[in-house]
Amino acid sequence: MSHTNPFTFGALALDKAFTDREDELRGLVADMRNGQDVLLYAPRRYGKSSLVLRAAQKAARDKVLVAYCDLMRTPTKERLAAALARTIHEDIDSELGEAAERASSLFRNLRVKPTMEVETDGTLRFSFQATRRRAAIDDTIEDLLALPGQLAAERKRRVALIFDEFQEILSLDPKYPNLMRAVFQTQPEVGHVYLGSKRHLLDRIFDDANEPFWRSAKRIEIGLIDPAKFGRFIRKRFEATDRGIRDEALTRLLEATLGHPYGTQELAYFVWELVPEGRFAHLVDVENALGQALRSEHSHFSKIWDDAPASQRLVMLALAAEPTGAPYAESYAERFDLPPKPTLQTALEALVKKELVARGGDGEYRIVEPFLADWLVREQERR
């Protein structure tokens, strides 16, 4: 039997593609059941959406009604309203009954009424026309946000309302956190789950005593996946597809990605492609796959390099060669020819803000963009 590549990167990690995160999963499911608000933070591509979706599937089995809205996909207020209408109709008000009838009764009191269209899969799609009076759409969104609370009470069910890429709310309208929080405070049956990757924006919303969301949610942060667990996962996936991977190859693979969820799946994908059925992946396969991964990221990394001022470049090179918990130590600065402290601090903060560098749970600063460290080292050698 021939097999398809068991590794995936880019799409959500569902079912068998998902590994680890047991503790986070258990916690999130409990929070959804309890109506506890949660802020889930992680850098890009660490697996936030995959984790929360898996938690949502589990919570749904416990009768929690789960709605999901990705703010990255709602660049206008009308689109946000449409996305909310859709998930409220489909995921919270999902009772028996004729869908269109249910929807018109559900949305009868909205100030701006949606237009409904039946999609090819039979589900309803909603759209809201822009109105001249901008306050009308704000009122409409406010009423839509109130609906999950009303439905939860009516149906005597818990509801979880998930906002992916929540920081985008600020670019939609800086006043929206106020509007949302006012509504959410009155919905004890609804657990709100906020996901996001831009820490400085999330901090602005959740960490400022003058802001409405201040300390309103339990904070969780997800990190890299434990390389030992990721290793077992990779081995199993090779074996399930009639292939194997040698210990030293697996060690090298995990050393290159440090358990970065996306990066690890990407590299494993390339390695698997190089191994014929019935054979083992060897160290050389991992080196070749890494070369492929670096080539495919080359223009992306070149742009990062070109856009970075000299001080940031020096910090990247230092961290690529050696992650550190003490970036300001004299010996470190000397060895890597780093700029004086104020400049160094600015550069490091800028790299953190760009999400290229992060401080791990162990207190060490390191390059977190997968493969960037390897790329930097190779480029330096080439020059």
Ligand X SMILES: Nc1ncnc2c1ncn2[C@@H]1O[C@H](COP(=O)(O)OP(=O)(O)OP(=O)(O)O)[C@@H](O)[C@H]1O
Q: Judge contact between 89 and 147, C-beta under 8 A.
A: no
> How near is the Cβ of 347 to ligand X at its closest, in Å?
24
- Supply the minimum distance, in Å, between the C-beta of residue 364 and ligand X: 21
* Position among 41, 163, 262, 272 found at the interface with ligand X (CB under 6 A): 262
Chain positions 189 to 218 lying near ligand X, rule: CB under 6 A, are 197
Q: Whole-angstrom Cα distance, residue 124 to residue 107?
A: 13
* Binding of Mg ion by 197 (CB under 5 A): no
Nearest to 367 by CA among 285, 310, 293, 305: 305
Choose the contact partner of 47 out of ligand X, Mg ion, none; CB within 5 to 8 A by kind: ligand X
Count of residues touching ligand X (by CB under 6 A): 23
> Which does residue 45 touch among ligand X, Mg ion, none (CB within 5 to 8 A, set by kind)?
ligand X
CB of 11 to ligand X, least distance (A): 5
Stretch that binds Mg ion, among 44-52, 172-180, 200-208, 232-240 (CB under 5 A): 44-52
Residues with Cβ within 8 Å of 107's Cβ and at least 6 positions away in sequence, in order, are 85, 89, 113, 114, 126
**Pattern of binders to ligand X over 215-254, x per CB under 6 A?**
----------------------------------------
CB environment 51-74: b (16+ within 10 A), e (fewer): bbbbbbebbeeeebbbbbbbbeeb
Between 52 and 367, whose beta carbon lies closer to ligand X?
52
Binding at 50: pick from ligand X, Mg ion, none (beta carbon under 5-8 Å per type): ligand X
3-state secondary structure of 99: helix
Q: What is the smallest separation between the CB atom of 223 and ligand X, expressed in angstroms?
A: 12
The binder of 46, among ligand X, Mg ion, none, by C-beta within 5 to 8 A per type, is: ligand X
**Which span (37-45, 77-85, 128-136, 317-325) binds ligand X, by CB under 6 A?**
37-45
Distance (Å, whole) CA 313 – CA 320: 10
Please identify which residue in 32, 37, 46, 358 interacts with ligand X, judged by CB under 6 A.
46
Single-letter amino acid, residue 365: Y
Choose the stretch contacting ligand X; rule: CB under 6 A; options: 3-11, 105-113, 120-128, 184-192.
Answer: 3-11
Report long-range pairs for 210-218 (Cβ below 8 Å, ≥24 apart): 211/177, 212/177, 212/178, 212/180, 212/181, 212/182, 213/177, 213/181, 216/37, 216/181, 216/184, 217/37, 217/38, 217/39, 217/192, 218/31, 218/36, 218/37, 218/38, 218/39
Show contacts with ligand X in window 129-158 (CB under 6 A): none
Determine the 3-state secondary structure of 242 from DSSP.
Answer: coil
* Residue 18 interacts with ligand X (CB under 6 A): yes or no: yes
Does residue number 49 form part of the binding site for Mg ion (CB under 5 A)?
yes
Among Mg ion, ligand X, none, partner that 373 touches (CB below 5 to 8 angstroms by kind): none
| Phi and psi based region of residue 29 (left: phi greater than 0; alpha: psi -120 to 50; beta: remaining) | alpha
Contact pattern from residue 49 through residue 88 relative to ligand X, giving x for each residue in contact according to CB under 6 A and a dash for the rest:
xx--------------------------------------
Alpha carbon 378 to its chain's center: 29
Q: Residue 179: what residue type?
A: L
**Cα separations (Å) of 34 from 10, 28, 91, 128, 222?**
31, 10, 18, 33, 21
- In whole angstroms, how close is the CB of 297 to ligand X at the nearest point? 15
Residue 40 CB coordination number (10 Å): 29
Summarize as ranges the residues that interact with ligand X (CB under 6 A).
8-13, 17-21, 42, 44-50, 197, 261-262, 265
Summarize as ranges the residues that interact with Mg ion (CB under 5 A).
49
